[in-house]
Structure 1
Amino acid sequence: MTPDPSAVLFDLDGTLLDTAPDFIRCLNQLRQHHGLAPLPPEHIRRSVSNGARAMIRVGFGLEPDHPDYLEKHTAFLDLYETGVAVETRLFEGMDTLLQALEQRHIPWGIVTNKPVRFAAPLVEALGLDQRCAVLVCPDHVNQRKPHPEALILACRQLGAIPAQAVYVGDHERDIEAGRNAGMTTIAVRYGYIEAPETVDLWQADLVVDTVSDLANLLQ
């Protein structure tokens, strides 16, 4: 990895932000509405990076072709939209990491598969909108990650060369997108990973266990 990357880009859920508490709250609230007992947080947490579709699969065992799927999917998203930042926080140590990048004048941004409907209010609610140099969501591109389009767009908006930039993520598609964009990739084990033992198979350039390890790498 270059000593001073031209930019550092982060995935959102499970990498930059611990959004799981709000996903867990909303899914269990929806289950309660349907007369079902709450699920253990860890049972939900590991699937958060796969979005609302995964939440409905975990919470109700439904796939998109099921006749009841759309109603529950819509209800979940509506619940989540009204409370995207109730319990969501930066991962411990992440604010210090971001401050260090800012002090070194290294721009950082977010490239996520989370729709702008949720991502923009969330970033604003946490006061990151004035610090984040770029936010790229699926709404801004034709193809989602693992396609590299979003990462290439983010680098273009930052005036950064992808080969000199870093992408950090907690899902195999993040690493694949970063590799496809020609960026240095860092996989984080602290994220929402359904099968932790597979992380080493993602072909990331670097793997870290904690935010502290990530900060040390980016130093």
Structure 2
Amino acid sequence: MRLETIRAVLFDLDGTLIDTAPDLGHALNLQRTRHGLAPLADEVIRPQASHGARGLLGLGFGLHPDDARFPAMREEFLELYAANICRHSKPFPGILDLLDALETRGLKWGVVTNKPARFTEPLLSILDLAERAACIVSGDTCPQPKPHPAPMLVAAELCGAAPSQCLYLGDAERDIQAATAAAMPALVAAWGYLDADDAPHTWGAHAEIRHPLDTLAYLAA
């Protein structure tokens, strides 16, 4: 079913707009090597790449945020990631074609991510996407990250649109929860970092799509 009033398309970053798993995994494996552990396979790390340092440290070291070692290990991981932020990260296949199509139609696009600005902004700049985006809302732009609706509402305002006039694409349940809480239609990006245990059909999205260009089917011609 088409969404006739969309004026802007917003994207989650990791696992939706950009394939960052190779560099996140590289940083995690560098850290594991520092601590005398063997590297993990890419296919093991990939499903956790949307869950940030919390998910990756849980996978790599069995750490949780309430563990005493977590803050220091988190900072070590983030320093390693910052030094290797765009070795292999790149837009998913079809993303650049989608962005071109949106701009041709006169639609704005932007990013709403839980990734801190210290990583979001350099990454998008290196990939020549920062200046094209109508908004970049990072994980520390608002006091509350997704699944709180605040980042979604800020992004809509920056795009000069009502939340109902924005379409959000994300690959995690919290993405859809945030959009729903903001009264914003959302699509599940099934090319992203979904885990085998995820059940995206239960998240309440408008639809689930398999390729970025499938987004165009939901926009007014």
TM-score, with normalisation over the residues of structure 2?
0.94
8 Å Cα contact 2:21-2:46 kept in structure 1: yes
Residue 55 of structure 1, CA deviation: 0.8
Q: Aligned partners of 1:215 and 1:46: how far apart in 2?
A: 26
Amino acid at match of 2:56: M
Match of 2:184 in 1: 183
Q: Which runs of 5+ in 1 are unaligned?
A: none
Q: Aligned partners of 2:197 and 2:5: how far apart in 1?
A: 29
Q: Aligned partners of 2:204 and 2:141: how far apart in 1?
A: 27
Correspondence 1:34 to 2:35: yes
Correspondence 1:80 to 2:62: no
8 Å Cα contact 1:151-1:178 kept in structure 2: yes
Residue 179 of structure 1, CA deviation: 1.0
Q: Aligned partners of 1:123 and 1:197: how far apart in 2?
A: 28
Q: Which runs of 5+ in 2 are unaligned?
A: none
Q: Aligned partners of 1:35 and 1:88: how far apart in 2?
A: 26
Match of 1:22 in 2: 23
TM-score, with normalisation over the residues of structure 1?
0.95
Correspondence 1:104 to 2:108: no
Q: Which deviates more from structure 2 when the two are superposed, residues 109-118 or residues 139-148? A: 139-148
Deviations 1:97-152 (A, max 9, x none): 00000111100000011110110111111000111110011322121111111111
Q: Secondary structure at the match of 1:110?
A: strand
Match of 1:126 in 2: 127
Residue 215 of structure 1, CA deviation: 4.2
Residue 86 of structure 1, CA deviation: 1.1
Q: Aligned partners of 2:197 and 2:65: how far apart in 1?
A: 26
Q: Aligned partners of 1:86 and 1:215: how far apart in 2?
A: 30
8 Å Cα contact 2:114-2:139 kept in structure 1: yes
Q: Aligned partners of 1:212 and 1:138: how far apart in 2?
A: 26
8 Å Cα contact 2:3-2:218 kept in structure 1: no
Match of 1:2 in 2: 3
Residue 196 of structure 1, CA deviation: 5.5
Residue 217 of structure 1, CA deviation: 3.7
Match of 2:194 in 1: 193
Deviations 1:46-84 (A, max 9, x none): 011110011111011111232332222111100001121
Q: How many residues align?
A: 219
